[in-house]
Amino acid sequence: MSFAGWVQAALLIAVVVALTPPLGRYMADVFGGRRVFLSPLVGPFERGLYRLMRVDPDREQDWKAYACSLLVFSLVSWLALYLLLRTQGIDPLNPEGFHSAPWDLSFNTASSFVSNTSWQFYGGETTLSYFVQMGGIVVASFTSGAVGIASAIALIRGLARRDSGLLGNFWTDLVRGTLYVLLPISIVAALVLVSQGVIQNLSGSLPIVGLGHTTQTLAMGPVASQEAIKLLSGDGGGFFNVNSAYPFENPTGLSNFVEMLLMLLVPAGLTYTFGHMVGRRREGWAVFAAMLALFVVGTVVISAAEVHGSPAIHAAGAHGPNLTGKELRFGAPGSALFDGTGTASGDGAVNSALESLTGLGAAVPMANIMSGEVIFGGPGSGLYGMLLIVLIAVFVAGLMVGRTPEYLGKKIGIREMKLATLGTLITPAMVLVTTALAVATRLGRRSLFAHGPQGYAESLYAYLSQGNNNGSALAGYTGFIQPNAPGNSGSYGISFADLLGGATMTVGRFVPILFVLALAGSLGARRSVPRGLGTLRTDNPTFVAFLLGFVILFALLNYLAALCLGPLAESLGGQLY
């Protein structure tokens, strides 16, 4: 990588490390109900929302009531977004006169954004009105991000409390996460992006005539406001079809840096929130260190691979970076760092085409997602995903030394292990099943563009991304039936991929959350056990190294066979028939 590329990566990591303690402490105060500097401004709106929803913010819920509230809210959010998508033709703020998309695509889109995935089988600027973008997609980005944060806070309370099955109040956590965390940061970020040239208007498309007297239409819209929350909340769906590669969405090097920072900000800060709320800050730093180490390794690999170039480039006698599918404004280092950040953070935003990465470079985004979205991950989901793996790692380590495992003074019993194991394995199992359906059934194969190992790899990545609520894609796998696919008449119809993908995203989001909340309730009801001489320390470099190995082993055991059928077979020149 060039010197400028290393400086950019080092600066991003330094800023994330520097902002983690103040943001983490601030979120701990917010969810602890303590007064913060925004309380005089936001407090009246918070109390007004409680009165409107008829919620007592001081009345706490057990895990079942917390989960019920979360599911009911998410269901209502899904229905509201689906209704907006299906009535787009009569909605205001629709200067291009867009009609509603087919019902199956609307099902997929509503499932995508309510599940915090942002998978897009459509082009935003050619499909959605401004009203749906602002009132549907942006609102869903706020609420789905707040739901993830609330779930993580509930698990933290379960680890921190003693002899109590109460986890707080979901409605209170939802409101506070939105008003005190996501909204103020999004406002500041949107203003910064506007200052860099990201557009923010409600005018219709702008026709222009180029130097060759060719006519071109430039899409307009309220982009900056959506861009800020899409990156901050982990809902990385772009206003434009090419996401953050589009100049109106990401115009400068500074905007590129800010967008990467936004993707990592809340997930990193929550690790400090965790340490602060359980009263052991070293535990939070240990989790942060594991996430950061995996992120740094992935960044080095993808950056080196893209700067070195592909074998095809060298075979042609040329030298230099792989610039295929990349914006020259950012070059290979800026694109590689952004794409690695988007898949490590659980956001899924990209500023270049993932399918044009080198073989080794493309392996990094896939590996980031295969880790279970625990390399920072999405807001809340990354932390609770990592804590599930921590509990399993502690249990295994305890068996190795012949001691009853415990974490943060809580004995880890059979019930906790069952819940943690199910919470981590449900997504890989679902991804493998849905990928098999996509490549082995007649309806599934209609969405394939490529065949052989490449087609399998694109399908695997699609359901891997959707199941882990990332949203990035290798392209080639579509929600519309391919007109040139074998056995197709050329007409577009109801898509198998839309329906299966929507179900995959929904299950991948909410089923693990149910296991997390059940685990939080079980841990909260346990008594504290004092530390002894044989207590396994989980806040030192030795445990961090053990945890890193455990995450890697977890990903390999789940996906090694699938990798052999797709990316590895393709790299060895094999073909599948």
pLDDT score recorded for residue 500: 93
Q: Is the pLDDT of residue 327 over 60?
A: yes
Q: What is the pLDDT of residues 90-99, one digit of tens each?
A: 889 898 889 8
Q: Is the pLDDT of residue 388 over 50?
A: yes
CB count in 10 Å sphere of residue 243:
27
Q: What is the DSSP string of 21-32?
A: HHHHHHHHHHHT
Quote the pTM value.
Answer: 0.93
pLDDT band at 122 (very low <50, low <70, confident <90, very high): confident
Q: Where are the alpha helices (DSSP H) in 212-358?
A: 223-232, 253-277, 281-308, 311-315, 331-344
pLDDT score recorded for residue 332: 85
Q: Is the pLDDT of residue 577 over 50?
A: no
pLDDT score recorded for residue 485: 43
What average pLDDT does the structure give for the chain? 88
Q: How far apart are CA 372 and CA 428, in angstroms?
A: 8
% of the chain with per-residue pLDDT over 90: 57
Q: What is the pLDDT of residues 150-202, one digit of tens each?
A: 999 999 999 998 888 899 999 999 999 999 999 999 999 999 999 999 999 99
Q: Where are the alpha helices (DSSP H) in 450-540?
A: 452-467, 496-524
pLDDT score recorded for residue 530: 76
Sign of the dihedral defined by the CA atoms of residues 534, 535, 541, 544, in that order: positive
Give the 3-state secondary structure of residue 232.
Answer: helix
Q: How far apart are CA 542 and CA 325, in angstroms?
A: 41
Q: What is the pLDDT of residues 511-540, one digit of tens each?
A: 999 999 999 999 998 888 777 666 788 889
| Short-list 216, 141, 213, 151, CA closest to 183 | 141
Q: Is the pLDDT of residue 307 over 90?
A: no
pLDDT score recorded for residue 566: 73
Q: What is the pLDDT of residues 391-428, one digit of tens each?
A: 999 998 888 777 778 898 888 889 999 999 999 999 99
pLDDT score recorded for residue 308: 78
Q: Which of 278-292, 469-483, 547-561 has the lowest mean pLDDT?
A: 469-483
Q: What is the pLDDT of residues 232-287, one digit of tens each?
A: 998 888 888 888 999 999 999 999 999 999 999 999 999 999 999 999 999 999 99
| Short-list 382, 376, 498, 372, CA closest to 426 | 372
Sign of the dihedral defined by the CA atoms of residues 129, 131, 134, 135, in that order: negative
